[in-house]
Structure 1
Amino acid sequence: MNAYSFDFCGTRCSAMPSGALYLSEHAVLCVSDLHLGKSERIARRSGVMLPPYEMQETLQKLETDITTTQPRQVICLGDSFDDLDAANSLDEDARLWLTRLQAGKSWVWIEGNHDPGPIDLGGTHRAQMTVGTLIFRHIATTERAEVSGHYHPKHRVAGRSRPAFMLDHQRMIMPAYGAYTGGLNSHAADLRKLFHGPTIAILTGHKAIPVPV
């Protein structure tokens, strides 16, 4: 699956080309910042119409990763929806699709700043959770062995910017998984202040590729 496997704080991890993280020892698949319903939210708040395909594109990518890894648990690491109204206004096809993806799995919605409350879409709602040696939450703190999202990191190589995982010896920030999400450059001050010592970016795309930051 063209993933990049590595050890992070005592847990074996695989960064997938899609931007998902897979923990093989725990059969856990984690995705961050899906921002489902972003086109609907933008239309609702500003009247600007975007092509309404981000929901299908994001859910299809997630279905492919679930089929590939066959996880027992799926963690959605916050900002799964662009706001709570977007979650509550999903059409029937999207709801059924999510129901199919959740079937037979432990499904966890971690709260984000865009979707801070419980949603009526199956699964459980948590502020944070621990898997093995790792702590999963939406926004990074100063805690060691932490996996978070929120910042949508991107890294530029050879003139091209790609969504990327960023990590040092104690913190990992995941790329945004959603189709219509932007990103923050890996050298931006808000990101760099979170990392200490050697830092790598794992580029997403056809193949997950680690590069030094």
Structure 2
Amino acid sequence: MNTLASPAESNEERIMNGIDFTFAGQRLTALGSGALWCAAHALLCVSDLHLGKSERIVRRGGPALPPYDSRETLTRLARDLAHTAANTVICLGDSFDDLDASDALASEDKSQIVTLQAGRRWIWIEGNHDPGPVEMGGMHLSDWVCGNLIFRHIARTDGRGEISGHYHPKVCLNAKGRSITRAAFLLDDTRLILPAYGAYTGGLHSTDKALTDIMAPDARAILTGAQPRLIPMPR
């Protein structure tokens, strides 16, 4: 059974701008940045970085976007790594917007990745955007198991203790007459779906059938941002 911090525990449980909870017997923290932290294993997990997205859009004839998405994403990742001092990093797939995007990364961005990898175990999980080997350091796997947890890109119907990404979940709320949309973690007793970490990534509403079909009726959402919030998953 998964447990989450109660309102009375908010001062102790909301650490590193995040919310603590228990999943598959592991104490985890959903950070406001969209990263997942497991202190017991000094492990930081991020999903769907989509590095090189602006370059890929232009390469395929789309509109020119400011080419700073990779830099912004890697800078945020560097902050999370500095804050947590993680020894293991798991990138849950779609780390690059396509295979050519990894080759087209600016030299400064490639150098930053090398710097972030130094002294750490770095695991690239294969995604649907980057299914082949990427010429970057680290391990390249289809999934990875750590205790009761299994990390993969796309959730499976038989998943247990499963942590995945792919869907870029987001939640839309009405607050005081305003509509607020935030990227979100989705959580039930068997699976945890991470929000997209990349700067230029869109999202799929939690009410979409693709998500309601795989999440339990009592699933919850943890909203990202400066003040993470725990709410029942909107349906």
TM over 0.5: same fold? yes
Secondary structure at 1:46 match in 2: coil
RMSD: 0.8
Alignment pair present for 1:154 and 2:170: yes
Partner of 1:35: 50
**Residue matched to 2:193:** 173
**Cα-to-partner distance string for 1:36-77 (whole Å, 9 max, x where unaligned):** 000000000014200111011100000000000001100000
Q: Percent identity?
A: 54
TM-score, normalised to structure 1's length? 0.98
How far, CA to CA, are the matches of 2:107 and 2:29 in structure 1?
A: 33
1:207: how far off? 2.3
Structure 2's unaligned 5+ residue stretches are: 1-15
Q: Distance in 1 between matches of 2:152 and 2:89?
A: 14
Shift, 1:120, TM fit: 1.0
What residue in structure 1 maps to residue 8 of structure 2? none
Aligned residue pairs, count: 213
Find the counterpart in structure 1 of residue 80 from structure 2: 65
Q: Is the radius of gyration larger for structure 1 or structure 2?
A: 2
2:21 matched residue in structure 1: 6
Q: Which amino acid aligns with 1:12?
A: R
Counterpart residue number, 1:48: 63
Tell me the equivalent position of 1:186. Answer: 206
The 2-side partners of 1:82 and 1:115 are apart by: 7
Residue range with higher mean Cα deviation, 33-42 or 201-210: 201-210
Query: Is 1:197 aligned with 2:217?
Result: yes
Structure 1 residue ranges (4+ consecutive) displaced by more than 6 angstroms after TM superposition = none
Q: Residue type matched to 2:171 in 1?
A: H
* Larger relative contact order (Cα-Cα within 8 Å, sequence gap ≥ 6): 1
TM-score normalised by L of structure 2 = 0.89
